Structure 1
Amino acid sequence: MKRILLILAALFTSVFSAEFNVREYQTPIIEAKDGFATIIDSPDIVVGSSGVVVHKFDSRKSSIIARVSVTEKGGGFAKVRFEVFDSLEQKALPIPGIMPASGDIVILNYLYKRSLIIVPNKEIYNEVISAFKDMEFIHPDIVGSYLSYEYKPNPSRDDFRKMCSQSAAGLIFIAMNEESLFADCQSFEVLKRFKSGSVAYYQLPFYTRVKDIDTVFWKLGSSKISDFDRHYKSLLKEK
């Protein structure tokens, strides 16, 4: 039985292109207006990808002042939308009161070398880790431990966003029946899809060695997942 599962897992990921190297891209803001900015386009920019805006105070001091998400591209330019950057929020420190402006630097594909990994079973987990050598995957036990502590057997977008922020990860990889993908961990925009094989069996809410991710009656909306694929598809933001 174990051999059959390993063969199925190998077939699952054999269709992957093991290349998913989205390079970090830096460029100055050309124009900022009404919550959006225009930047120079690049093949490294994907609609739905995210990044940060860095403001330079002087020759030695700079700070992240906003998040951005790519909303469109064309004609040699791309448009990004400004969002609040709260990944490094400190309650003792104020949020920078500086609006992004022309000359500030946009860094896209920020933290895209690190990814959460949500897969249905151990065999697929091992195959995915082997397929994407250049990606640093955050072990699912870290997310599983958080969900167990919070009594959340049905992780939400906000749960994953929190885990990505705490783990300094920019992506989330999700493997489902006959389809797998990388999505931006903040916007949940799908960046890259892969056709993959059938899933032999599911561990819910996903593969992790953390046991007893249970619910409690006094916590509303903490019911267990009954359908792996349906739950994770519902979290994705479709174009």
Structure 2
Amino acid sequence: MKKIVTFLVIFISSCFAAEFSMNEYNTPLIEAKDGYGTIIDSPDIVVGSSGIVMHNFGPSKRSIIARASVTEKSGGFAKVRFEVFDSLEQKAMPIPGILPARGDTIILNYLYSRSLIVVPNKEIYNEIVSSFKNMEFIHPDIVGSYLSYEYKPNPSRNDFRKMCSQSAAGLIFIAMNNEALFADCQSFEVLKRFKSGSVSYYQLPFYTRVKDIDTVFWKFGSSKISDFDRHYKSLLKDK
């Protein structure tokens, strides 16, 4: 009976959450100073979300020169923090040495139609994937294969950031006991929380068909996860 109730709670919550979407939002940069910028506020802008800064080099030439994360909203304006954009980094090509400036374009909610997915078991994975029809989830086997190769049974923020960059994903979805959420995959700021049911069992470090994600004695900090919820809560940054 408990299993049936748990399924219904998660399913109902997921159906409600299936409307979740954060479309790309384009806006001009009206001020840039000391590593921060100002843009006009909008209901589409969420504190904690991130995007990119585009610079025009000519009538038909433009390039990404930085990452931008929304830090606050007030008085009809939103403030963004500039960061190095290294998702497309190539050793043969230098990082653009151009700083964001007034007139550049900010594209927020960048790659928010694609998400990594971290869930405790196969049943919850199937429920979430079938409920969020508008979201393209990166299969957890991709992340699992990377962790297995790197001997990392306790994935860190940087591990997920790397896999988001390689998979062209802007979000990470995490399901825990009685709650689930979407977070920005670079800042790990929580963008949206959902109520869900209790978890009947856990697969560690998360559900994946990749087996034997093990540790090695010579790699510092590669011990296995003992508590799923505690580990992933420790990675998050709340608003």
Q: 1:14 aligns with which of 12, 29, 32?
A: 12
Instruction: Give me the whole-angstrom Cα distance separating, in 1, the residues matched to 2:12 and 2:215.
Output: 36
Contact 1:6 1:123 in 2 (8 A): no
Deviates more, 1:14-23 or 1:190-199: 14-23
Structure 2 residue 108 is matched with structure 1 residue 111: no
- CA drift of 1:75 comes to 1.5
Secondary structure at the residue paired with 2:60? coil
- CA drift of 1:13 comes to 3.2
Q: Within 5 A, what are the aligned runs for 1:17-56?
A: 17=16, 18-56=18-56
Instruction: Give me the whole-angstrom Cα distance separating, in 1, the residues matched to 2:4 and 2:163.
Output: 29
Q: Within 5 A, what are the aligned runs for 1:38-117?
A: 38-117=38-117
Could you list the per-position Cα deviations for residues 53-86 of structure 1 after superposition, in whole angstroms to 9, with x for gaps in the alignment? 0001001111000000000012211000000000
TM-score, normalised to structure 1, is 0.97
Match of 2:164 in 1: 164
Could you list the per-position Cα deviations for residues 124-156 of structure 1 after superposition, in whole angstroms to 9, with x for gaps in the alignment? 000001111000000000000000000000000
Secondary structure at the residue paired with 2:13? coil
Instruction: Kindly report structure 1 stretches of 4+ aligned residues shifted beyond 4 Å.
Output: 3-7
Contact 1:5 1:123 in 2 (8 A): no
Instruction: Give me the whole-angstrom Cα distance separating, in 2, the residues matched to 1:7 and 1:150.
Output: 38
Count residues with an aligned counterpart: 237
Q: Within 5 A, what are the aligned runs for 1:132-171?
A: 132-171=132-171
Match of 2:223 in 1: 223
Q: Which runs of 5+ in 2 are unaligned?
A: none
Instruction: Give me the whole-angstrom Cα distance separating, in 2, the residues matched to 1:142 and 1:217.
Output: 24
Instruction: Give me the whole-angstrom Cα distance separating, in 2, the residues matched to 1:14 and 1:145.
Output: 32
- CA drift of 1:9 comes to 3.2
- CA drift of 1:46 comes to 0.3
Contact 1:13 1:124 in 2 (8 A): no
Contact 1:205 1:225 in 2 (8 A): yes
| Equivalent AA in structure 1 for residue 113 of structure 2 | K
Percent identity at matched positions? Answer: 80
Deviates more, 1:9-18 or 1:32-41: 9-18
Match of 1:212 in 2: 212
Instruction: Give me the whole-angstrom Cα distance separating, in 2, the residues matched to 1:146 and 1:19.
Output: 31
Contact 1:10 1:127 in 2 (8 A): no
| Equivalent AA in structure 2 for residue 143 of structure 1 | V
Instruction: Give me the whole-angstrom Cα distance separating, in 1, the residues matched to 2:11 and 2:146.
Output: 28
Q: Which runs of 5+ in 1 are unaligned?
A: none
- CA drift of 1:10 comes to 3.9
| Equivalent AA in structure 2 for residue 142 of structure 1 | I
- CA drift of 1:6 comes to 6.6
Secondary structure at the residue paired with 2:58? coil
Could you list the per-position Cα deviations for residues 5-62 of structure 1 after superposition, in whole angstroms to 9, with x for gaps in the alignment? 5763343231232111111100010011111110011111000000000001001111
Instruction: Give me the whole-angstrom Cα distance separating, in 2, the residues matched to 1:45 and 1:24.
Output: 10
Secondary structure at the residue paired with 1:14? helix
Secondary structure at the residue paired with 2:44? coil
Instruction: Give me the whole-angstrom Cα distance separating, in 1, the residues matched to 2:224 and 2:33.
Output: 44
Instruction: Give me the whole-angstrom Cα distance separating, in 2, the residues matched to 1:59 and 1:182.
Output: 37
TM-score, normalised to structure 2, is 0.97
Structure 2 residue 237 is matched with structure 1 residue 237: yes
Contact 1:29 1:106 in 2 (8 A): yes
Alpha-carbon RMSD across the aligned residues, in angstroms, is 1.2
